[in-house]
């Protein structure tokens, strides 16, 4: 069997957008929803086959790659890091993570690809360095990423993240049970981040106050995760969604799904990631999961997936 590298999707539990401006955020890996990179040894120059990431499937060959393309850039950065110009073989990429939906598809595909290139070269890229390479690729998606996505995806552990601070992997009492519901609207993080930047320019004081409120939510959510206070965590998520509405990164479809999730008995619900489309996350337990899923589908969700978030090896120590 060919060896396979992989990386998880992610959710932002709280703090998206404000994290770009220095507020804390909490992100959790979705270990069951992943991107995969299958390694096929061969004598030909490095070739990457993106099977279900592009329609029709795209093939990248060394020497013909456009560095404005995230996969090509990731391949180049990994080859340079490993000093592996003579690398040969092929990598086939596949992913379960919906694209442009706030679930970290870009970071996960880049991470799996970087790991696969290292495996093909019988080497390894340590997490800290890999996270840095993936961060460089994230800059193509939107110029000013906070770094939260590459961190949670590469370390595959719950993270309390403050931009430009050392990495804080956290322990949580138990993984969260979530329903992820898709609006079916593909949204670019770049556009949502640009909208928040404009808002910050036109209403600086109000926007700063919102960021501070979101930061306070992230801090309290960290305590709730540690103690297993699920009910309060849900309230904080819903409060975070209301603040994101105020930043104009929600949409009628996202708001409708959040309302439906709450109506079905979720502890809390919010958009997750860039917003404007993509997914909402609803915090549930075994008693509410079926009713919440049903309400979300009834309210127009294109898909409602049950996922466990936050399994991982958070060690409370600083990984820097
Ligand atoms: C995207 O998952 C999260 C944002 O806060 C952007 C970022 O942190 O770079 C919207």
Question: For residue 166, how far is its CA from the centre of ligand 1 (angstroms)?
Answer: 18
What integer pLDDT is reported at residue 221 of this predicted model? 98
Nearest to 242 by CA among 278, 268, 208, 274: 268
Give the model's pLDDT for residue 238: 99
Ligand 1, pocket-test mutation among 193, 277, 278, most atoms within 8 A of CB: 193
The ligand 1 atom at the shortest distance from the C-alpha of residue 138 is 9
**Average pLDDT over the chain, rounded to whole?**
93
Which residue's CA is the closest to the ligand 1 atom numbered 9? 145
Q: What is the pLDDT of residues 95-116, one digit of tens each?
A: 999 988 889 999 999 999 999 9
Work out the pLDDT band at 320, boundaries 50, 70, 90.
very low
Rounded to the nearest 10 degrees, the angle between the axes of helix 148-155 and helix 127-141 is 140
Ligand 1 pocket test, pick from 14, 19, 107, 210 with the greatest ligand atom count within 8 Å of Cβ, gives 19
- Mutation test residue for ligand 1: of 97, 138, 144, 148, the one with most atoms within 8 Å of CB: 148
What is the predicted pLDDT for the residue at 66? 81
Which atom of ligand 1 has the smallest separation from the CA of 147?
A: 9
Please give the pLDDT value at position 316. 42
Atom from ligand 1 closest to the CA of residue 144: 9
Tens of pLDDT, residues 228-265? 999 999 999 999 999 999 999 999 999 999 999 999 99
Which atom in ligand 1 lies closest to the alpha carbon of residue 163? 8
d(CA 287, CA 223): 24
- Work out the burial of residue 164: count CB atoms within 10 Å of its CB; fewer than 13 is exposed, 13-18 middle, 19 or more buried: exposed
CA of 27 from ligand 1 middle (Å) equals 10
Which pLDDT score, from 0 to 100, does residue 59 have? 78
- Please tell me the distance between residue 17's alpha carbon and the centre of ligand 1 in angstroms: 5
User: What is the pairing mode between strands 25-45 and 88-95?
Assistant: antiparallel
Contact 50, 57 (CB under 8 A): yes
Q: Lowest-pLDDT range, 58-67, 217-226, 266-275?
A: 58-67
Q: What is the pLDDT of residues 105-147, one digit of tens each?
A: 999 999 999 999 999 999 999 999 999 999 999 999 888 899 9
Cα of 90 from ligand 1 centre, angstroms: 31
Instruction: List residues near ligand 1 (CB under 6 A).
Output: 12, 16-17, 19-20, 102, 145-146, 148-149, 189, 193, 273-274
Is the pLDDT score of 319 beyond 50?
no
Ligand 1 pocket test target in 8, 11, 12 with most atoms within 8 Å of CB: 12
Q: Which of 81, 22, 94, 85 is nearest to 54 (CA)?
A: 94
Quote the pLDDT of residue 32: 94
Q: Whose CA is nearest to atom 1 of ligand 1?
A: 273
Ligand 1 atom showing the smallest separation from residue 149 Cα: 2
The pair of structure tokens assigned to 94 is: 């596949």
**pTM of structure:** 0.94
What atom in ligand 1 is closest to the CA of residue 27? 2
Contact, 20 vs 141, CB < 8 A?
Answer: no
Any long-range contacts for 203-212 (C-beta under 8 Å, 24+ apart)?
Answer: 207/247, 210/18, 210/243, 210/246, 210/247, 211/18, 211/21, 211/22, 211/23, 212/23
Determine the pLDDT at residue 2.
Answer: 83
- Using the mean position of ligand 1's atoms as its centre, give its distance from the Cα of residue 82 in Å: 28
């Amino acid at each position: 069997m060919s060896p396979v590298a992989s990386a998880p999707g992610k959710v932002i539990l709280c703090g998206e957008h404000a994290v770009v401006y220095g507020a804390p955020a909490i992100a959790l890996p979705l270990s069951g929803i992943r991107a995969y990179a299958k390694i096929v040894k061969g004598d030909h120059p490095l070739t990457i086959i993106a099977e279900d990431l592009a329609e029709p499937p795209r093939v990248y060959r060394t020497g013909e790659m456009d560095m404005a393309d995230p996969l090509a850039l990731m391949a180049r950065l990994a080859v340079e890091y490993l000093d592996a110009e003579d690398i040969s073989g092929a990598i086939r990429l596949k992913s379960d993570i919906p694209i442009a939906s706030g679930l970290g598809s870009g970071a996960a595909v880049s991470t799996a690809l970087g790991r696969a290139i290292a495996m093909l070269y019988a080497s390894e890229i340590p997490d800290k360095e890999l996270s840095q390479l993936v961060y460089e690729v994230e800059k193509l998606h939107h110029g000013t990423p906070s770094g939260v996505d590459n961190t949670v995806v590469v370390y595959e552990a719950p993270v309390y993240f403050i931009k430009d601070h050392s990495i804080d992997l956290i322990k949580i009492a138990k993984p969260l049970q979530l329903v992820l519901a898709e609006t079916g609207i593909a949204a670019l993080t770049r556009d949502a981040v640009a909208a928040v930047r404009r808002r910050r320019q036109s209403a600086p004081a109000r926007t700063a106050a919102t960021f501070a409120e979101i930061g306070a939510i992230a801090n309290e959510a960290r305590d709730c995760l540690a103690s297993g206070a699920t009910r309060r965590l849900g309230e904080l998520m819903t409060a975070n969604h209301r603040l994101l509405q105020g930043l104009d990164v929600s949409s009628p479809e996202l708001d409708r799904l959040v309302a439906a999730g709450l109506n079905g008995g979720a502890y809390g619900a919010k958009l997750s990631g860039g917003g404007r489309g993509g997914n909402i996350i609803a915090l549930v337990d075994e008693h509410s999961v079926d009713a919440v899923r049903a309400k979300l589908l009834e309210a127009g969700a294109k898909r409602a997936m049950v996922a466990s978030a936050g399994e991982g090896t958070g060690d409370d120590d600083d990984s820097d």
